[in-house]
Amino acid sequence: MEEDTRALIIVDVQPTFCEGGALGVEGGNAVAERIADFVTENADEYELLVTTQDWHVNPGSHFSDTPDFVDTWPEHGVAGTAEAELHEAIASLPLDASVKKGEYSAAYSGFEGKDAEGRTLEEILRAAGIQAIDVVGLAESHCVKETALDALRLGWRTRVLSDLTVPVSPETGEDARREMDEAGVEQIPTASAFGFYEEGEDAPIPGDFADEPHGDGSGFAGGELDDLGDLDDYDNLDDFDGLDDNLDVPSGGEAGAAGLFADVDGLADLDADDLLEELDVLEELDDLEEDVDFSDEVDEADFDFSDIDFDPGAPGSRRPPA
């Protein structure tokens, strides 16, 4: 199946939103480093790497000397200042485009920004033929959320990589995740971003259990039965009938060990530990069949009765008189 042409949007990873900045978010610097590591390892998964930046000149009521931290905020991301530049961990990445937003407005969404040539984020993505978008950055509860929701509204399949973002607070983060979930934004950890199996793919497991679904809760898949060998070795279990009396094993009801194992299909009803124990018994039976040899314990002399003084007339004799 042909894979989507995918873009990664890195939202507002700037010193102003990291520890020590005007609106520093706890964990901001760590997120910047994790994003850099993720891009280094997965850049070939993306057709386009794009950053957004708050770049405020005069955003009106967005700035306040008495901010409520809901609709109004202290000054942050002021255009031309060091705090408004990209975080150094992000600036070193092989970026394809960068948009700046909020010169004269709040501009939470990256789709409100433009690059140095005046192109909007939507125009940049359309020109590159992007089919799906991953969103990461700062902060999850505000600009990451709004960028992801706009991407979804504009028709892109959209994911937020949950371990590459942090919210302003736990409460706002919980609200943001709920809102994105209800809208249809997928939220996944990076470990699931580019897995070997596509979502919903049910790959068969090689071997005798290939017709059983993987991970069906039986405890067998990929684990306890790997070293049991081929159950075909135990098809003719009736050959061992009677030998179970020589082994110290539970009788298993009327038929003893042979009856217990006569129907191989019944093994499916055992849990992994019981199955291992019972197959050990079968291996002992195999060994017994091979090791028991009575050939040296009797000879023809054992059947020579010529020296016996036999009285044909004795009561109970079955031999007729001569």
Q: Could you list the active site residues?
A: 12, 101, 143
- Length, in residues, of the chain: 322
User: What distance in Å separates the CA atoms of residue 277 and residue 282, rounded to the nearest whole number?
Assistant: 9
Q: For residue 222, which amino acid is it? A: G
- Sign of the Cα torsion 259, 265, 270, 273 reads positive
Q: Which residues, including other chains, have CB under 8 Å from residue 88's CB and lie 6 or more apart?
A: none
The sheet with strand 132-138 has its strands ordered as: 97-101, 48-54, 6-11, 132-138, 157-166, 186-188
Residue 141 · residue 167 · CB < 8 Å: yes
Task: Return the structure tokens found at 25.
Answer: 């978010």
> Residue 247: left if φ>0, alpha if ψ -120 to 50, beta else—which one?
beta
Q: Which residue has the tokens 């060091």?
A: 82
Question: How many angstroms from the chain centroid is the CA of residue 306?
Answer: 81
The beta strands (E) that lie in 140-262 are given as 157-166, 186-188
How far is residue 171's CA from residue 178's CA, in Å, rounded to a whole number? 11
Cβ–Cβ < 8 Å for 247, 285: yes
User: Helices (H), strands (E): how many in the chain?
Assistant: 7, 6
Three-state secondary structure call for residue 188: strand
